[in-house]
Structure 1
Amino acid sequence: MAGIFRFKQFNVDQSGCTMKINTDGVLLGALAGEGQPSTILDIGTGTGVIALMLAQRFTSAQIDAVEIDSNAAETAQLNFEASPFKDRLTAYHQDFNTFFTLHPEKRYDLIISNPPFYIDSLLSPQKEKNIAKHAGRDFFNGLMEIMFKQLTVGGQCWLVLPVNTASWVKNIAIGFGLYLQKIVKIKSFEDLEPHREIVVFGMEVGDVLTSSFIIYSSIGKYSTAYNQLLQPFFITL
Structure 2
Amino acid sequence: MFRFKQFTIHQNRTAMKVCTDSCVLGAYADLGLAGRLLDIGTGTGLLTLMAAQRNPTARIDAVETDEEAVLQAIENVTNSPYSERVRVIKGRIQTFSAEPYTRIVSNPPFYTNHLRSPNQAVNRALHNDELPFEELIASVVRLLNPDGQFWVLLPPFEMNRLSIVAEQAGLRPFRQLNLRHHALKPVFRTIVGFVFDAPANPETDELAIFEADGKTYTESFHHLLQPFYLNF
| Structure 1 length-normalised TM | 0.93
Q: State the AA in 2 paired with 1:221.
A: T
SS of the residue aligned with 1:180? strand
Q: Of the candidates 119, 128, 133, which is equivalent to residue 126 of structure 1? A: 119
Farther off after superposition, 141-150 or 53-62: 141-150
Aligned to 2:181: 188
Aligned to 1:33: 30
Q: State the AA in 2 paired with 1:223.
A: T
| Cα distance in structure 2, aligned partners of 1:32 and 1:92 | 22
Q: Of the candidates 145, 165, 168, which is equivalent to residue 161 of structure 2? A: 168
Q: State the AA in 1 paired with 2:170.
A: G
**1:153-232 correspondence runs (5 A):** 153-206=146-199, 207-217=201-211, 218-232=213-227
The runs of at least 4 consecutive aligned structure 1 residues that moved more than 3 Å come to none
Q: State the AA in 1 paired with 2:157.
A: N
C-alpha contact (below 8 Å) 1:5/1:13 kept by paired residues? yes
| Cα distance in structure 2, aligned partners of 1:20 and 1:176 | 31
| Structure 2 length-normalised TM | 0.95
| Cα distance in structure 1, aligned partners of 2:129 and 2:157 | 14
**1:1-237 correspondence runs (5 A):** 4-100=1-97, 103=98, 106-136=99-129, 139-206=132-199, 207-217=201-211, 218-237=213-232
Residues 35/58 of structure 1: CA separation in 2 closer, same or farther (3 Å cut): closer
Name the Cα RMSD after superposition. 1.3
Aligned length: 230
| Cα distance in structure 1, aligned partners of 2:139 and 2:214 | 40
SS of the residue aligned with 1:222? coil
Q: State the AA in 1 paired with 2:181.
A: S
The Cα of 1:153 is off from its aligned counterpart by 2.2
Q: State the AA in 2 paired with 1:48.
A: G
The Cα of 1:49 is off from its aligned counterpart by 0.9
The Cα of 1:110 is off from its aligned counterpart by 0.6
C-alpha contact (below 8 Å) 2:140/2:150 kept by paired residues? yes
The Cα of 1:205 is off from its aligned counterpart by 2.6
SS of the residue aligned with 2:105? strand
| Cα distance in structure 1, aligned partners of 2:55 and 2:5 | 16
Q: Deviations over 1:50-94 (max 9, x none)?
A: 100100001100010011110011110111111111111111111
In structure 1, stretches of 5+ residues that fail to align are none
Aligned-residue sequence identity (percent) comes to: 35
The Cα of 1:116 is off from its aligned counterpart by 0.7
Q: State the AA in 2 paired with 1:174.
A: E
SS of the residue aligned with 2:187? coil
The Cα of 1:98 is off from its aligned counterpart by 2.6
In structure 2, stretches of 5+ residues that fail to align are none
| Cα distance in structure 1, aligned partners of 2:136 and 2:216 | 36
SS of the residue aligned with 1:149? helix
